[in-house]
Amino acid sequence: MDAVSSGYQQEPHQWRLRSLSAGAKMWCGSTSGFMGAFLFAYFYLLALDPNHSWKIGKNVNPSGGLGVAIMAVFVLSGLLLWLGSRRPADEITTGVVAIVLAVVGIALQFVDYGVLGFGPYRGGYASVFYGWTAVFTLGALGGIYWMETSVAALWRARKNGFADTDEELLRVGLQSCALWWSYYVALGVLMYVVLYLV
Partner 1 sequence: MRSEPNHMRRFVALWLLANAIMLPIVIFVLAPGMPPGNGTEQAAGQVVDNTVLLALSTPVALGVLLFLGYTIWAFRERNLDGPVLDGPAVTGNSSVQMWWLITTTALVLFLAGFGSVRLLEDGSGGGQGPSPLVVPSGKALQVQVIGQQWQFTYRYPAYGLETNSLVLPPDTLVEFHVTSLDVIHSFWAYQLGVKADANPGVDNIAYVETRGPLSFEVRCAELCGVWHGYMYNPGKVASSKAAFASWIQSQQQKYSAASKVLPPYSHTYFPGPNGRSG
Partner 2 sequence: MTATANRVPAQSPARQRGLLGFNMLTGIILGVVGWWVFYLLGGLIQGYTNHGFSQTGQNDVQIMLGYLGGVIGFLGGLGFLNYPIQRMMGYPPNIPDHEVEEPGLGKYFRLTTDHKVVSQQYFVGIAFFFFVGGLNAMLIRTELLSPTTHVFGAQQYLTLVGVHGSMMMGMMTSGVLGPFANWLVPLMIGSRRMAFPRMESLTFWLLMAAGVVLITTVFFGGFQTGWTGYEPLANQGTAGYDAYLGFFGLVSISMTLLGLNLAVTIATMRAPGMTWSRLPIFCWSVVATAALMVLAAPMLTATLLMGISDRTLYTAFFDPGLGGSAYLWQNLFWVFGHPEVYVLAIPGFGIVLEILPVFARKPLWGYKIAVSGMLGVAIFSFFVWQHHLFVSGMNADLRPFYMLSTEIISLPTGFTFLAFMATLWRGRIRLTVPMLFCLGWAFNFLFGGISGVFNSDTPSDVTTHGSFFVMAHFHYTIMGGLLFSVMAAMYYWGPKMFGYKLNERLGKIHFWVMFLAFNSTFGPLFAVGFLGMPRRVVTYATNLTGLNDWVSVSAYVLGLSLLLFLFNMVYSWMYKRIPAEDNPWHSRSIEFQLPTPVPAQDFDEIPVFSGDPYPYGEALAPAGAEPATAGAY
**CB neighbours (10 Å) of residue 143?**
25
Give the residues lining the site for partner 2 (CB under 8 A): 1-13, 15, 18-19, 22-23, 26-27, 29-38, 40-41, 44-45, 48-51, 53-56, 119-121, 123-128, 130-131, 134-135, 145, 148-149, 152-157, 164-169
Distances (CA, A) of 179 to 39, 134, 152: 22, 22, 18
99-110 as b/e, with b when 16 or more CB fall inside 10 Å? Answer: bebbebbbebbe
Q: C-alpha 81: how far from its chain's center?
A: 11
> Minimum Å distance from CB 138 to partner 1?
26
Give the torsion through C-alpha atoms of 55, 197, 66, 110, to 10 deg.
50
> Minimum Å distance from CB 37 to partner 2?
3
> Minimum Å distance from CB 42 to partner 2?
10
Determine the Cα angle at 31 with ends 28 and 33, to 5°.
115
26 binds, among partner 2, partner 1, none (CB under 5 to 8 A by kind): partner 2
44 binds, among partner 1, partner 2, none (CB under 5 to 8 A by kind): partner 2
Rounded CA-CA distance 167/115 in Å is 46
- Closest of 30, 53, 35, 47 to residue 127, by C-alpha: 53
> Minimum Å distance from CB 41 to partner 1?
17
> Minimum Å distance from CB 113 to partner 2?
11
- CB nearer to partner 1: pick between 7 and 50: 50
Q: C-alpha 164: how far from its chain's center?
A: 31
156 binds, among partner 1, partner 2, none (CB under 5 to 8 A by kind): partner 2
- CB nearer to partner 2: pick between 22 and 107: 22
Rounded CA-CA distance 179/103 in Å is 19
- CB nearer to partner 1: pick between 21 and 53: 53
128 binds, among partner 1, partner 2, none (CB under 5 to 8 A by kind): partner 2
- CB nearer to partner 1: pick between 130 and 155: 130
Give the residues lining the site for partner 1 (CB under 8 A): 50-51, 53, 56
